[in-house]
Amino acid sequence: MKEAIFESIEEIRAEILELSKNIHENPELAFDEYKSAGFIKALLQKHGFSIEDKSGGMDTAFKARFKGNGPGVTVAFLAEYDALPGMGHACGHNLIAAASTGAAIGLSKLMKDIPGEIVLMGTPGEEGKGGKIILLDKGEFDDIDYSLMTHPSTVNLINRGGLATTAVTISYTGKAAHSAAPESGINALQAVIQTFNLLDSIRARMPLKTNINGIILKGGEATNIIPGYAECAFSVRAATFGDLKKVVDMIKDTVKAVELFTGATAAVETDLVYSERYSNLAIDEVFKKYMELQGEVVEYPDPNAKIGSSDIGNVSLKMPAIHAYIKIAEKGVVAHNKSFAEAAITDRAQEAGIKAAKALAATAYEILTDENLRKEIKDEFDRTVPVYADMSL
């Protein structure tokens, strides 16, 4: 069956590579990925998938379905296709979309002999907009049992986690006054500055692996006017959602102290929560096997390495999921950088996308057909993934 799956994907190689190229040449920002979503849907429709448009109420989200020969589980391949402002596909989402789409089409050619269903999920807005979180909240993952995807990198890697993260915006309203009579005003900018100072002073109390970075968004209009309004924003990361909530609560307490100290009135807003990620090792090992059969070396993560965040983390709380990494360039080429955008369309990267498509499709086949593997996957999921009753901050 491996040979049949690999051959099926080889037969559509040119279409997969063209899809990657088209998405890369037409970078679109979160929730505006009309061309990219269109490229993917057109190819899937050509190969017999039924399309459900505007998943979760988002114009550029969709689900493409292909049913097997009878009842069974449903495996989703997740496609991302949003770009970064001013940098194009500097995270290589063209390859994510191409690999997942190629895997779905390749496996679909054999579904007449396989029970269950495969789904290609178009998940827009990963870069800061939490498209998968919205899809989860809208119930779009309720009929999915397993979710698989890959991500470009400078190393082939499985079972890497991710940090929980959110954004916190704080605005302070004081009272404007002329700088000749500062005592008649309430300095909102001073409140922002004290927020930074106090957060720096309590970093030692924060949970391990916490990371806070902030900027001042608004700090006044003129040097001779005491600012009556100021605003700042912070990116907050932590090892788990539980830790993230503790840190956000500490920020809110800090703001209360600043209000008492300065007399300014604050408003605090939190963004969507990207949870930590639990990549299912039982599935990852199958993916690793099929990448290594294609001559790749696949590594395990360094527990001390710095890691980022992605909305696939929220999916991994709901069901077994993987977010494997595929090597498209040598170390030193950094994601979220123009050099990575250039690397994401090289022949080397395109070939990595083809190999990832084959490994994803073969992994999905094993999940669809091997009950013992499904039990192993479920046992790991039940043992390692926490249940959060409430994900609000």
Last residue of a domain, one of 219, 247, 270: 270
pTM for the whole structure: 0.93
pLDDT for 82 equals 98
% of the chain beyond a pLDDT of 90? 97
pLDDT, tens digit, 9 for 90 and up, residues 217-247: 999 999 999 999 999 999 999 999 999 999 9
Query: Do 192 and 116 share a structural domain?
Result: no
pLDDT, tens digit, 9 for 90 and up, residues 298-309: 999 998 888 999
Query: Do residues 168 and 234 lie in contact, with contact meaning Cβ atoms separated by under 8 Å?
Result: yes
Which residue, 108, 107, 110, 78, is CA-closest to 95? 78
- pLDDT bracket for residue 106 (50, 70, 90): very high
Last residue of a domain, one of 255, 270, 285: 270
Give one word for 146, left, alpha or beta, with left for phi > 0 and alpha for psi -120 to 50: beta
pLDDT for 306 equals 87
H helix or E strand, kind and range, residue 119? strand 117-122
Query: Do 134 and 101 share a structural domain?
Result: yes
Query: Do 358 and 251 share a structural domain?
Result: no
Instruction: Return the exposure string of 234-261: e unless at least 16 CB atoms fall within 10 Å of the residue's CB, then b.
Output: bbbbbbbbebbbebbebbeebbeebeee
Query: Do 357 and 325 share a structural domain?
Result: yes
Which residue, 140, 105, 81, is CA-closest to 358? 105
Query: Do 178 and 134 share a structural domain?
Result: no
Going by the DSSP 8-state scheme, the letter that residue 204 receives in this structure is G
**What does residue 66 show for φ and ψ, rounded to 5 degrees?**
-145, 115
Asked if the structure places residue 392 within a domain, the reply is no
CATH of the domain at 213: 3.30.70.360
Q: What three-state secondary structure class fits 165?
A: strand
Rounded Cα–Cα distance for residues 228 and 224 (Å): 12
Query: Do 142 and 80 share a structural domain?
Result: yes
- pLDDT bracket for residue 11 (50, 70, 90): very high
pLDDT, tens digit, 9 for 90 and up, residues 185-194: 999 999 999 9
Last residue of a domain, one of 242, 270, 298: 270
Asked if the structure places residue 390 within a domain, the reply is no
Q: Which domain holds residue 223?
A: 164-270
pLDDT for 164 equals 97
**Structural domain tally of the chain?**
2
CATH of the domain at 104: 3.40.630.10
Instruction: Please state whether beta strands 146-153 and 177-178 pair in parallel, antiparallel, or not at all (unpaired).
Output: unpaired
For all residues of the chain together, what is the average pLDDT?
97
Question: What is the C-alpha radius of gyration for the chain, rounded to an integer number of angstroms?
Answer: 23
